[in-house]
Amino acid sequence: MTSRPIAEDLSLSDALVTEFPSVESLSISYLQSTPGDGYPGTSVSWDPSKGDRLECLNTACLKGGVAIAALLSPIVATAQSKAVRKKPCSGQERMTNGEFRPCANVFMIAVELRYVAS
């Protein structure tokens, strides 16, 4: 996992730097899977240019993923430098009959943080 300075990506840095001023660098990687589908999942590294959410790979999912700020808040509050979290996708999946259901994808997320020296 490669740490990247949070100010490196201008599309995201303002929000993260403002919300988490004590964080110098951040790295996020995650395994995304659908429970019960028999596949081990897809391993992904966070790309800051994609915005402030970890993207859901389910093509039927609308507005899904995991919000990075919500993921980081409890980790930063306890000053952890490494953390692993399991989070459900927050999106809705369109079914063939036009109705919606919660997306079944699950994210197993590994976070590495480096804090600004005090």
Buried b (16+ CB within 10 A) or exposed e, 32-67: bbbeeeeeebeebebebeeeebbbbbbeebeebbbe
Task: Please write the tens of the pLDDT for every residue from 81-104.
Answer: 999 999 999 999 988 898 999 999
- The model's pTM is 0.78
Residue 6 has pLDDT above 60, yes or no: no
Least confident of 4-13, 15-24, 59-68: 4-13
Task: Please write the tens of the pLDDT for every residue from 39-78.
Answer: 666 777 777 667 788 989 888 899 999 999 999 999 999 9
